Structures are given as C-alpha cells and as structure tokens.
Amino acid sequence: MLGRRSGLLLIAILLLSWEMTSRTGLVTSENWPPVSAILAGLVLETLYGDLVQVIGATLSRFALGYVIGICAGAIVGFTFALVPFVRRMFEPIIELLRPIPAPALVPPLVLFLGVDDLMKVTIIAVTAFFPVAINTMQGASGVEPIYLAVARTFRTGPARVLMKIIMPATLPYVLAGMRISLALALVVTVVSEMIAGASGVGYYLVLMQYAVRSADMYAAIFVIAALGFALNAAFLAAERRLIFWYAPVP
C-alpha cells in the first residue's frame, strides 16, 4: 500500500506540473490547456452543453451493436462446436474475415449502409462478434470428456447435457471473449464516429480538434477513458458474480 501511495503522488505531481507549465506560460500553446480548464470545460459542458446527449448517443450505439455482436458470436460459436460439419463448412469464411482490421470495413459499409447509425451499429457488432465466436467455440469443444461420459452413463438427455454441462463449462470462455470484445467495440464505436460521424463522443472529439477548442477536446478524451474504465469495471464485477465458482488455471 505504501508503494501505491508513491504512484498516486506521481500522478498528482504530473497533473500539477501540467497545470503549472500551462499557467505560468512555460509552455504557451493552444494545445496545452491547463488541467483545471479541462475539468471546468467538462463540468460546464455537462451542465449547460450537450455532453450528456453526446455520451448517450455513443453509449446507445455501443450497447446495441455490442449486444447483437456477442449474441451472434455465442450462437455461431456454440453451433460450430456442437455440429462439426457446420464448422467445417463455414470456418474458412470466418478465418478469412477475421484478420481484417475492423476500421478497414468502415468504408465499404458506408457504401452499403450510409453514414448513419445502421452502419455504426453493424461495424460495432462485427467487431464484437469474432472474439466471442472464437472463444465460445474453444470453450464448448473443450468440455471435460469425463463430465459428458458421466452424463451418458446416467442417460441424461441431450437438452439437459447442453443446459447443465456444456453451457456452464463454456460460460467462462464466453465471458472472456465478451471482455475482449468490450474494449475493441468501444474503440470501433469512437473510430466510426470520428470517420463518419454526426453525433457521439468520437465526432465531438474531432469537432473540438478542428475548432481548436483543445480543453474541450481533452475533456472528450477524459469522457472516453472514463467510459472505458467504467464499462470494464462493471463487466469484471458481473463476471465475478456469474462465474464465482470458476478459478482460472494459472
């Protein structure tokens, strides 16, 4: 704990020197607003500006795309694991599409779907899809064979085996995939708003950069970082509750 205090002190010193270099004119630049101005901008924009709406637009887009992506990913992953023939049929396509960096898919999707929410939700869903699909497939095909053998010995029906053995055994993998997807999907949400935006935090960020309102630009980055942090923390908390029985093998 003593160690952590030095770390917090370091952050305080860095912030303070940022503030001082800007206030005393050591660094005079449009791009170097004092920290206090950023925080003031954040508060003012939240209270009187449209920052709340901006965040709302980003979050709702993100949530919709993410949920669609992970559901599709889990369904495809399970299907691939349980029906090997389907996996053999469609895996090459997935393997071909997977290495494409998601932002590169924004331009063609703009052609098909325009620059509106539909395009953004689609690209977010596509991004969220792959890690969940791959992880689910791995988890569901790696269920401990003894459990399945025991179930067969007791003549457990296939539906029960799926619900009571395969699903719970796969859950940690699905969640691991979901957490990777969470970070990636947030990146892509911001990127799609930056490239083809009319609303959302990503658009706001680029707008403030063009308008040379650097304090508000940093405020937007702060908001994005806070979103990332909060989403990840919420996810970890949910994960601990859902799979409290699971201890990862080191």
Partner 1 sequence: MGRWLAKAAPGGIVLVLLLWGIEEAVDAGLVKRSLMPAPTDIGRILWELLVDGQVAGPLAETLARLGIGFAIGATLAVIMGLAMGYWPRVYGLFEPLIELLRPIPKAALVPPLVLFLGVGDAMKITSIALAVFFPVLINTVQGARGVDPVLIDTARTLGVRPLSLLRKIILPASAPFIFAGIRLSIALGLILAVISEMIAGTGGVGFLIIDMQRAFRVRQMYAWIVILAVVGYLLNLLILAAERRFLFWYQVTERT
Closer residue to partner 1 in complex, CB, 167/187: 187
Closer residue to partner 1 in complex, CB, 78/218: 218
What is the rounded distance in angstroms from the CA atom of residue 128 to the CA atom of residue 120? 12
The CB density around residue 40, as the number of other CB atoms within 10 Å, is 14
Can you give 124-192 as a three-state secondary structure string?
Answer: HHHHHHHHHHHHHHHHHHCCCHHHHHHHHHCCCCHHHHHHHHHHHHHHHHHHHHHHHHHHHHHHHHHHH
- Give the nearest distance from C-beta 222 to partner 1 in angstroms: 9
Length of the chain: 250
φ, ψ of residue 50 to 5 degrees: the values are -115, 30
Closer residue to partner 1 in complex, CB, 25/99: 99
- Give the nearest distance from C-beta 10 to partner 1 in angstroms: 6
What is the rounded distance in angstroms from the CA atom of residue 69 to the CA atom of residue 186? 13
The CB density around residue 240, as the number of other CB atoms within 10 Å, is 10
Is position 115 an interface residue for partner 1 (rule: CB under 8 A)? no
Distance of CA 89 to the CA centre of its chain: 29
Closer residue to partner 1 in complex, CB, 134/175: 134
- Give the nearest distance from C-beta 196 to partner 1 in angstroms: 10
Ranges within 162-201 binding partner 1 (CB under 8 A): 183, 186-187, 190-191, 194-195
Which residues, at least 6 apart from 27, have a Cβ–Cβ distance to it below 8 Å?
A: 21
Of 174, 175, 205, 219, which lies in the binding site for partner 1, with binding defined by CB under 8 A? 205
Is position 14 an interface residue for partner 1 (rule: CB under 8 A)? yes
For partner 1, which stretch binds (CB under 8 A), given 18-26, 51-59, 91-99, 168-176? 91-99
Token pair 């992953």 is at which residue? 77
- Give the nearest distance from C-beta 136 to partner 1 in angstroms: 12
Token pair 């990503």 is at which residue? 202
Question: Where on the chain is the footprint of partner 1 (CB under 8 A)?
Answer: 2-8, 10-11, 14, 30-31, 85, 88-93, 96-97, 99-108, 110-112, 134, 137-138, 183, 186-187, 190-191, 194-195, 202, 205-206, 208-209, 214, 217-218, 220-221, 224-226, 228-229, 232, 250
